[in-house]
Every structure is written in structure tokens, then in C-alpha cells.
């Protein structure tokens, strides 16, 4: 982009200490987010975590209280118009209350982005195809169902071929078939080199769609990275272990229940399931102690945590930290 000074272009999105305050309330707290090009990044967190507030700043709809934001290397506070050309934003709630027909609605956005008449016609067809709404081309927007409106808004987001997609809860209101189509579209966009930043509460959906994930809780990005890295990082702090022993598991249950670093212990048939806070050598030492105490162990297994379990733990940890700070 001649004339526009740009920062690190390797990232589709980069935020440095981005903060969003509503009065005295801190909704987004010094967010440092790096999303490389070609990645599908899922920002996940419970209601009120600060996802939508972050998306609005990235989409240039709201200024951050402070901090720097770069879209494809462009500083959005200096060049918001230029940054907007590169991004497509799909808001979380997007009822379309216009008297326009579906194709007219898309034509409006295509014109706003400077496409000529011939290009607009073919691009509208392509985008309607991608979201499977071709048969609704001549219908009025107002008559579409909620899931169809979501798909139409996604089509609008695609129209100017942005290199960064900001999709806030794109799957909400969509049926399983539409969700599958959304997943395919998102993957296609990433394969073509775009970056996709999306948020969702449907955690299992994110796990198999995203290449990267950020865990947000109460305005703080608690962890971020490749999904497998986040899972193993979180699992290494406290891991889920399952021990299968021969015979009555209760004596072993009592033995483990008195040990340091063991939490959430339960029995299930012959198995004992618990979380263990410790490093590899401490786990090996624990196993040695159990065997030396005379228990007959069939198997010791580590169960990887799901993204869902990790998120619940993160949220309860930030609540505990908040309570401690308030005391």
C-alpha cells in the first residue's frame, strides 16, 4: 500500500495493550492479540468476556480507550478508511429491517466498495452461492428467517474480498446444515490466505474449525495460541488422570485423597479419576508410591482436557483472583 506506513504485515490483526472502558468499567483489559494471515482464530469466553467490544474496535466502529491496533500492518487510528477496505465484519446480532430485496441489499454494499456493475452482478451470484441463498435472490430481506439473515450478512461480509474476517458469533441461529456450510466457507477463506477471527459459545464447533484459539475471561486474554499448544499448556499445569486398579477401589481412593496436589477425586467402577497438579517426575513418583504401598494397578492414563473444561477452569480462576483482590 503505497503511502500508508505499516507495521508488522505478517499479522492480519495485531493489538498492543488494547483497552476498552465503559465509564469506570474495564471491558477489555490490555489485550495483546496476534493473528497471523491464513489462520482461523477462535476467540472464546463466556457472556461479558469482552469479545464483542474487541471486535467493534477491530472493525473500526469504536475507538479503544488506549492501545494500538493494526489491521494487515495498518494503524487503524491513523488510517481507518484504508483498514476498512481489508476487513469484513459480521456483527453478532444483525436483523436486516430494510425494504430491499436480497440482491439489492448486497448490491448496495458492493457499490459502496466501488465494484462496477458487471463485477457486482457476478460477485453477488458468487456470494449468494457460498451461503446457499441463490433461491432467495428476489425475496425481500425482511421475509428471511433468522438463520437466513445470518447467512445474508455473511454474504455481505464476503462481497469486497477482504483479507480479514471478523465474525462475531456467526453460527448463532444457524441450523446444523448452515453451520457445516459456514465451516466450509471459513476454511476456504483461510485456504485462500485470509485470516478469520471468530467468536462462539459453541466450543466443540471451534475445536474442529479453528487453527488457533484465544481464551478470554472478564476482559483478559488468559491464553492464546495453537489449539494443541493451549490444551497441552493448560493440561500440564493440572492433568486429568485415571487409575484402574484390581479389586475394591476404595482403599486406593482413601490413599490418594490424602495426598497433596490431588483434587476432584471420584471413583467410577474400578477406576479412580482425579486431577493432579505436578510435573512428569512428580507423577512418576506418585505411581511409584502407589505400587510400593501394595496396590495392584492395571493402568494409569492421562485424559486430555477439552477446550470446554479449560475454559470453565479459566473462568473460575479469574473469579477467585477477583475475589482475592477485592478482599
Ligand X SMILES: Nc1ncnc2c1ncn2[C@@H]1O[C@H](COP(=O)(O)OP(=O)(O)OP(=O)(O)O)[C@@H](O)[C@H]1O
Of 14-22, 49-57, 226-234, 311-319: span binding Mg ion (CB under 5 A): 49-57
- CB-nearer residue toward ligand X: 21 or 125: 21
| Contact partner at residue 139 from ligand X, Mg ion, none, CB < 5 to 8 Å by partner kind | none
224 touching Mg ion, by CB under 5 A: no
Beta-strand pair 262-268/164-168: unpaired
Dist. CA 173–CA 266, nearest whole Å: 37
45 touching ligand X, by CB under 6 A: yes
Dist. CA 263–CA 253, nearest whole Å: 12
**Residue 85 exposed, middle or buried by CB count within 10 Å (0-12, 13-18, 19+):** middle
308 touching ligand X, by CB under 6 A: no
Cell 457486482, residue? 120
CB-based contacts of 136, cutoff 8 Å, min separation 6: 102, 128, 144, 148, 152
- Minimum distance from residue 198 beta carbon to ligand X (Å): 12
Of 17-25, 51-59, 112-120, 310-318: span binding Mg ion (CB under 5 A): 51-59
Kindly report the number of other CB atoms within 10 A of residue 16's CB atom.
15
The DSSP secondary structure of 59-99, one letter per residue, reads TTSS--SEEEEEETTEETTT-HHHHHHHEEEE-S------S
Residues 237-266 vs Mg ion: string with x where CB under 5 A? ------------------------------
Dist. CA 150–CA 265, nearest whole Å: 44
Q: What is the CA radius of gyration of the chain?
A: 24
Residues 91-120 vs ligand X: string with x where CB under 6 A? -x----------------------------
22 touching ligand X, by CB under 6 A: yes
- Minimum distance from residue 11 beta carbon to ligand X (Å): 22
Tallying the residues shown for the chain, one arrives at 327
Which of 146, 153, 148 is closest to 167 using CA atoms? 153
- CB-nearer residue toward ligand X: 52 or 224: 52
Segment 48-67, which members bind ligand X (CB under 6 A)?
48-53
- CB-nearer residue toward ligand X: 116 or 326: 326
- CB-nearer residue toward ligand X: 45 or 214: 45
Contact with Mg ion (CB under 5 A) among 14, 52, 163, 245: 52
- CB-nearer residue toward ligand X: 50 or 214: 50
Segment 72-111, which members bind Mg ion (CB under 5 A)?
92
Question: Nine-digit cell at 261?
Answer: 496436589
- CB-nearer residue toward ligand X: 50 or 73: 50
Q: Which residues bind ligand X (CB under 6 A)?
A: 22, 25, 27, 45, 47-53, 92
Amino acid at each position: 500500500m503505497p503511502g500508508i506506513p505499516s507495521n508488522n504485515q505478517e499479522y492480519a490483526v495485531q493489538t498492543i495493550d488494547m483497552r476498552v472502558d465503559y465509564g469506570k468499567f474495564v471491558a477489555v483489559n490490555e489485550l495483546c492479540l496476534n493473528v497471523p494471515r491464513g489462520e482461523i482464530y477462535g476467540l472464546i469466553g463466556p457472556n461479558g468476556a469482552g469479545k464483542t467490544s474487541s471486535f467493534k474496535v477491530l472493525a473500526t466502529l469504536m475507538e479503544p480507550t488506549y492501545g494500538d491496533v493494526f489491521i494487515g500492518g495498518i494503524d487503524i487510528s491513523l488510517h481507518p478508511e484504508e483498514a476498512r477496505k481489508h476487513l469484513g465484519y459480521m456483527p453478532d446480532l444483525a436483523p436486516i429491517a430494510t425494504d430491499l430485496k436480497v440482491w439489492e441489499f448486497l448490491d448496495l454494499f458492493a457499490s459502496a466498495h466501488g465494484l462496477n456493475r458487471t463485477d457486482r452482478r457476478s460477485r453477488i451470484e458468487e456470494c449468494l452461492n457460498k451461503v446457499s441463498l441463490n433461491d432467495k435472490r428476489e425475496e425481500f430481506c425482511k421475509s428471511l428467517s433468522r438463520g437466513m439473515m445470518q447467512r445474508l450478512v455473511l454474504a455481505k461480509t464476503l462481497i469486497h474480498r477482504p483479507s480479514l474476517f471478523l465474525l462475531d458469533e456467526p453460527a448463532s441461529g444457524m441450523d446444523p446444515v448452515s453451520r457445516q456450510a459456514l465451516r466450509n466457507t471459513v476454511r476456504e477463506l483461510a485456504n485462500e490466505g485470509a485470516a478469520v477471527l471468530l467468536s462462539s459459545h459453541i466450543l466443540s464447533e471451534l475445536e474442529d474449525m479453528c487453527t488457533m484459539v484465544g481464551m478470554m475471561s472478564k476482559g483478559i486474554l488468559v491464553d492464546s495460541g495453537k489449539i494443541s499448544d493451549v490444551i497441552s499448556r493448560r493440561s500440564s499445569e493440572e492433568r486429568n488422570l485415571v487409575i484402574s486398579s484390581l479389586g475394591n477401589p476404595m482403599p486406593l481412593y482413601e490413599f490418594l485423597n490424602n495426598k497433596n496436589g490431588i483434587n476432584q477425586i471420584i471413583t467410577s467402577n474400578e477406576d479412580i479419576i482425579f486431577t493432579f497438579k505436578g510435573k512428569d517426575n512428580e507423577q512418576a513418583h506418585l505411581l511409584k508410591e502407589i505400587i510400593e504401598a501394595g496396590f495392584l494397578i492395571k493402568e494409569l492414563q492421562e485424559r486430555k482436557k477439552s477446550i470446554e473444561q479449560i475454559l470453565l477452569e479459566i473462568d473460575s480462576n479469574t473469579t477467585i483472583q477477583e475475589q482475592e483482590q477485592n478482599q
